Amino acid sequence: MNPDVAWPVWSRERAQRVESALEGALPAADESPQSLHAAMRYAALGGGKRVRALLAYASGELGGADAGLVDHAAIAVELIHAYSLVHDDLPCMDDDVLRRGKPTCHVAYGEAVALLAGDALQTLAFEVLAKAPLSQAQAQIAMLAEAAGSHGMAGGQALDLAHVEDALSLNELERMHALKTGALIHAAVRLGAACGRALDQAQSDALDRYAAAVGLGFQIVDDVLDVEGTAHSLGKTAGKDAAQGKATYVSLLGLDAAKIRVAELRDEAHTALLAFGAGARRLNELADWIALRKN
Ligand code: GRG
C-alpha cells in the first residue's frame, strides 16, 4: 500500500482490508450451527463505515506500525461494535428494525439467534486479539475488555436505558456517551497505537485527548444526523431520539450550537496531534471525516 495516497484511497483500502480480514476471522456460514454463523456474518460483514478500524490503522501509523500488525486490533474493535449494534437493536433495548440499510439481525434471524450472534461476535473479538503477536496481546485484551464492559460501553448503555425520558444535564449526557460510544472509539485508538513504537507520557496523554475529542464529536454528529438525516442516507431509522424523548446534544444545545461544538472538538483533535507531525496525517484526516460525515 502506497503511504502517500489521498484520504479517499487510504480509507477505502483500509475499509476493504478490514472487511476481508473479518471475512477470514468469522466462521463460514455453512459451518454448523449454520443459523448462528450466518447471523454473525450478516451482522459483521458488508456494511458500516468502519470508523473504529480506520482509527486503529491510523493510530498504528503514528508509531510506524504497518497495517498487517494492526489487523487483529481492527477486526476486534469492529466485532465488538457489530455485537453492540445487534444487542442494541433488540426489542428489549432500542427495538429497531433497520441497520446498515437492511433488516436488523433479530428481524432476519429471530431474537434468540441474534442474542447468541452478539455474544459470539464479542467472544470472537477476544479470541482474535488473544492470537495477536504475543508482545501486544495481553495489554490489548485488557484494554478492549475494559472499554466494552461495565465501566465502558455496556455501562454507558445501562445509563442510557436508565435515563430514557429523563431530563439529563449536559454533564450527565457527556458521561453517558463517553462510556457508551466514546470508550470503544478510545480503545480503537489505543489498540492501534499499541501496535507501534512505544509513546512517551506526553504523547500518550495527547493521544487520549485526541480520542476523547473525536469520540464526543462522533456522538454529537450522530445526534445531528438523527435530526437532519433520512433512513435512506443513514441506513437506520432517523428521528428516533426525538420520538423516544431522549436527551441529546441537539435537544440540550440546539442544532446550531451542537454543530459549533463539533467544530470545536475537531480543532481540539487537531491541536492534540500537533506534537506528532506527519505521522498523525491519517488521524487528522479522520478527525475531519468524523466531523463532516453525512451518514
Ligand atoms: C448493547 C452493550 C451494548 C451496547 C450498545 C453502541 C451502542 C451501545 C449502541 C448503538 C446506539 C447508537 C446509535 C449509538 C450512537 C453512536 C453509534 C455507536 C452509532 C453507530 O455507529 P456507526 O455510525 O455505525 O459507526 P456503522 O454502521 O457505520 O458501523
Tally the domains of the chain. 1
Whether the pLDDT of residue 60 is over 70: the answer is yes
Which residue's CA is minimally distant from atom 2 of ligand 1?
A: 154
pLDDT computed for residue 166 by the predictor: 73
Q: Which of 180, 221, 236, 237 to mutate to test the pocket of ligand 1 (most atoms within 8 A of CB)?
A: 180
In sequence order, what are the residues at sequence separation of 6 or more whose Cβ sits closer than 8 angstroms to the Cβ of residue 113?
35, 36, 39, 105, 106
Coil, strand or helix at 103: strand
CA of 133 to the centre of ligand 1 (A): 29
Which residue's CA is minimally distant from atom 26 of ligand 1?
A: 48
What is the C-alpha separation between 267 and 287, in angstroms, rounded? Answer: 9
In sequence order, what are the residues at sequence separation of 6 or more whose Cβ sits closer than 8 angstroms to the Cβ of residue 9?
none
The amino acid at 201:
Q
What is the C-alpha separation between 192 and 155, in angstroms, rounded? Answer: 23
User: Do residues 206 and 62 make contact, with C-beta atoms less than 8 angstroms apart?
Assistant: no
pTM: 0.96
CA of 179 to the centre of ligand 1 (A): 12
CA of 84 to the centre of ligand 1 (A): 7
Mean pLDDT of the chain: 94
CA of 27 to the centre of ligand 1 (A): 23
Which residue's CA is minimally distant from atom 17 of ligand 1?
A: 181
Dihedrals phi, psi of 47, to nearest 5 degrees: -175, 170
Domain that holds residue 63: 3-292
pLDDT computed for residue 1 by the predictor: 61
Q: Where are the alpha helices (DSSP H) in 131-254?
A: 134-148, 153-162, 170-177, 183-193, 201-228, 231-234, 240-243, 249-253
Q: What is the DSSP letter of 199?
A: P
Q: Where are the alpha helices (DSSP H) in 65-181?
A: 67-88, 105-109, 111-130, 134-148, 153-162, 170-177
Q: What average pLDDT score do residues 129-153 get?
A: 93
Which residue's CA is minimally distant from atom 29 of ligand 1?
A: 48
What is the C-alpha separation between 266 and 268, in angstroms, rounded? Answer: 5
How many CB atoms are located within 10 Å of the residue 12 CB? 12
Predicted confidence band of residue 242 (pLDDT cuts 50, 70, 90): confident
What is the C-alpha separation between 95 and 21, in angstroms, rounded? Answer: 30
96: left (phi over 0), alpha (psi -120 to 50) or beta: beta
Q: What average pLDDT score do residues 222-248 get?
A: 87
Q: Which three cell numbers stand for residue 3?
A: 503511504
User: Do residues 113 and 35 make contact, with C-beta atoms less than 8 angstroms apart?
Assistant: yes
Q: Which residues line ligand 1 (CB under 6 A)?
A: 48-49, 51, 81, 84-85, 87-88, 100, 153-154, 157, 180-181, 219, 222
pLDDT computed for residue 135 by the predictor: 80
What is the C-alpha separation between 183 and 174, in angstroms, rounded? Answer: 12
Predicted confidence band of residue 230 (pLDDT cuts 50, 70, 90): confident
CATH of the domain at 61: 1.10.600.10
Atom of ligand 1 nearest to the CA of 49: 28
Q: Which of 22, 84, 123, 244 to mutate to test the pocket of ligand 1 (most atoms within 8 A of CB)?
A: 84
